[in-house]
Structure 1
Amino acid sequence: MTDEPTDPETYEPLYLSGIEKFNECDYYESHEVWEELWTDYRGPSRKFYQGLIQAAVALYHFGNGNIRGARKLHGSVHGYLEAYAPYHLGLRVDRFLESFDACLKEVAASTDDYPTIELDPELLPEIHLDPPPPDGREDRDE
């Protein structure tokens, strides 16, 4: 949607909190935080937030062995986020989708009704904003 740099002072606090949870692999909680933001938000980034929510839920399903659920959401994540590529709200959307796809490659390719696919921790996508938040919040260790 835009190639313009985002002013890091304008990042929504819930956006950043969701990123923290996502990068901690707490996908359920990141989805909850972003959903809180998305529910009341009516601006141009609404579908962007929805795409992040669905990415978190897809990874949550994958981590819990619900491969069919992860596979269903995989395509919808692209449907929501691709319109915002290559860059939106500090996120290199195209790079995020590449890492998301690499993580779910076997899931997306599977045609089995109940496949058994192991989550590879080395392939888990992370979100790093450019520019980063002023307090470095997305990368903070707690």
Structure 2
Amino acid sequence: MSSISAPPETQRDGDSEDIRLLADPRLAEAISLFNRGEWYACHDGFEELWHETQGDSRPLLQGLLQAAVAQLHLERGNRRGATVLIGEALGRLARCGERGLGIELIPLRQSLRLWLKALQHDEPTDTLSLPHLVRTLQHPPVN
């Protein structure tokens, strides 16, 4: 048995729970809803998966869920709630590597940092692009 292991960001999609989640049509639907800005509906999808998940993907799902709920708060005029949730989402997503569950996480974190900065400095957010989940085209090999 080799003592060399892949970095955490390449191991994420390789465990059996991640494989199950990647095959679950609810994940693809939640991602699609997120990218269409249907925050409440995607929140429901991510939350359902999050409740069913016990492994390493749990913080990632929670971070995605928090990012969606933050946008929902913004739609409803609750900047303070959005600020808190974006900060919490970034904290969770920071520990998830470069990609997970077939999603590129670096662009998402970059977008959320811009939103957080604008909210913390009470700047307008109408010029910011909505957060978007970029799907990876290939998954790392399963070891």
Same fold (TM over 0.5): yes
**TM-score normalised by L of structure 1:** 0.77
Aligned positions, number: 127
Matching of residue 39 in structure 1 with residue 51 in structure 2: yes
The aligned amino acid for 1:20 is S
Identity %: 31
The aligned amino acid for 1:105 is K
Cα drift, residue 56 of structure 1: 0.3
**TM-score normalised by L of structure 2:** 0.76
1:21 aligned residue (14, 33, 44): 33
Aligned equivalent of 1:131: 137
1:65 aligned residue (46, 53, 77): 77
**Cα deviations across residues 28-60 of structure 1 (Å, max 9, x unaligned)?**
111111101111111220111001000000111
**Whole-Å separation in 1 of the counterparts to 2:87 and 2:115:** 13
Query: Which piece of structure 1 moves more, 124-133 or 51-60?
Result: 124-133
**Whole-Å separation in 1 of the counterparts to 2:47 and 2:119:** 24
Aligned to 2:37, what secondary structure does the other structure show? coil
Aligned equivalent of 1:109: 121
**Whole-Å separation in 1 of the counterparts to 2:112 and 2:52:** 26
Segments of 5+ residues of structure 1 without an aligned counterpart are 111-116, 134-142
Label 1:104 to 1:53 Cα distance change in 2 as closer, same or farther (>3 A): same
Label 1:4 to 1:42 Cα distance change in 2 as closer, same or farther (>3 A): closer
Larger RCO, structures 1/2 (Cα 8 Å, 6+ apart):
1
The aligned amino acid for 1:123 is S
Matching of residue 3 in structure 1 with residue 15 in structure 2: no
Aligned equivalent of 1:98: 110
Matching of residue 56 in structure 1 with residue 62 in structure 2: no
**Whole-Å separation in 2 of the counterparts to 1:121 and 1:63:** 15
Question: What RMSD in Å do the two structures reach over aligned CA positions?
Answer: 2.5
Cα drift, residue 109 of structure 1: 2.7
Between structure 1 and structure 2, the one with the greater Rg is: 2
**Whole-Å separation in 2 of the counterparts to 1:124 and 1:104:** 12
Aligned equivalent of 2:3: none
Segments of 5+ residues of structure 2 without an aligned counterpart are 1-7
Which structure 1 residue ranges, 4+ long, deviate > 4 Å from structure 2? 4-7
